[in-house]
Structures are given as C-alpha cells and as structure tokens.
Amino acid sequence: MPSDFDAKAATWDEDPRKAAVAAAIATAMIRALPLDRSMSLLDYGAGTGLVSLALAPHVGSVTAADESEGMLSVLRAKIAATGAANVRPVRWSVDQPTDALPAFDVITGSMVLHHVADVPAAAKAFHALLKPGGRIAFADLDSDGGEFHGSAMHAHHPGFERAALKAVFEQAGFTSIAFQEAHRLAKKTDSGAERTFTIFLMTGERA
C-alpha cells in the first residue's frame, strides 16, 4: 500500500527545512560515531538518502533501507547521478525478516523511530542485526505532544521521552546509551503559533 512518504518523495528534497535537519543530524552522527572505511552501515528509514549519502564517504558501505518505494526510487536516481557506488537501497521494514541482510558495524536512523509502531521490537531487531561491539545512532524528536507533524502526517509517537527510550534500548541489550542535542528548529504548529522543536541524537553500543 502506498504510504504518505510515497506521495511526498518526489518533492522531499526541495524543502530546505528537511535538508537542514538531515544535514545537522548527519553532522552530529559523524561527530559522535567512530566511523571508518572498513565499516558496513545500515541507515534505517533512509528516505531519499539525505543522511545516507552524507555518511557514505565515511564508511565502506551503506545499506539504505526504507519501506517506501517512492523514497527509494528518488534515492536510486541520486545514486545514479552522483556515482555513490557504496550506497545500496533496500526495501525493508524492521518488522520483516532479517535473513536477507548481513550483520552491520553501525545502524543509524534519522527521524524514523516516531514512525515505527513497535519500537521495543525494532530495538531488538537492530540488536540482532549488529555485530558485537557495533554502534547505533538514532536521531528523533524530543516529546512534542504530536505538534511537529500535527494533522499533516500520521506518526506513531509524539516524539520521545529520552529516559523511556533509553530504557527500551537497554532492555534490547544496548549499553553506553547517551543523548545529545543534534538540532533545533522553529516550525508553525496547527494553531498557527511558531514553536521550537528539539531533535536528539541517541547513541549506544551492542555489548
């Protein structure tokens, strides 16, 4: 079934706010993660690859996974245009079998977790997909009462309380979980008032 993201894919990169958010998150990930050219990275919820393509020069390979064929098709066109040969788009959602995927050194996700219905199950799947000692870095909204998306788009979670999300990932087997602010932005809510939203970067390690 086509998703909201399929409909938005063709014009996604034209929104300067989306590009700025992705650039800030990619910068925060590159600073926070020990990346090198021997590493394999899964960028989950990669979308049009704004973050995947920024991370690609810092690692050996990027598997850019997304459930939206529309978003992946924009990413495929960008790979063809830029020659980013180490980025591999894959249609996959975390609630599907992992058999076709290898084990990764790093798993990242930018603004995707609030769209994932069962985050505890996703955290367990990410743990299973990581090599021992592998790292995660997920950027998402601090708890916002659902005002970031408002009526414009459905999200499963109204941002996250950091302590609760940390507990979920610890329960899945991650250690050294830490948070930093990756970005803040002002956006008009449904009421017409402008509000500041903060985006955290959560990092952690598979013991």
Give me the residues that bind ligand SAM (CB under 6 A), please. 3, 5, 22, 45-47, 50-51, 66-68, 71, 93-94, 110-112, 115-116
Between 33 and 111, whose beta carbon lies closer to ligand SAM? 111
For the bound state, the minimum distance from the C-beta of residue 19 to ligand SAM, rounded and expressed in Å, comes to: 8
Q: Residue 111: helix, strand or coil by DSSP?
A: coil
Residue nearest to ligand SAM (CB): 47
CA distances, 96 to each of 40, 91, 125, 195, 200 (Å): 20, 10, 10, 36, 27
The count of C-alpha atoms lying within 13 angstroms of the C-alpha of 174, restricted to the half-sphere facing its C-beta, is: 31
Kindly state the smallest distance separating residue 51's Cβ from ligand SAM, in Å: 5
Q: Which is nearer to ligand SAM, 51 or 132 (CB)?
A: 51
CA 128/CA 192 separation, integer angstroms: 43
What CA–CA distance (Å, rounded) separates 140 from 157?
10
Q: Which is nearer to ligand SAM, 39 or 125 (CB)?
A: 125
* C-alpha pair distances (Å), 69 with each of 8, 47, 64, 93: 11, 9, 12, 11
Q: How far is the CB of 66 from ligand SAM (least distance, A)?
A: 4
Nearer to ligand SAM, 40 or 108 (CB): 108
- Closest to ligand SAM by CB, 45 or 134: 45
Q: How far is the CB of 207 from ligand SAM (least distance, A)?
A: 25
Smallest gap, in angstroms, from Cβ of residue 37 to ligand SAM? 22
Q: DSSP 3-state assignment of 28?
A: helix
Three-state SS at 106:
strand
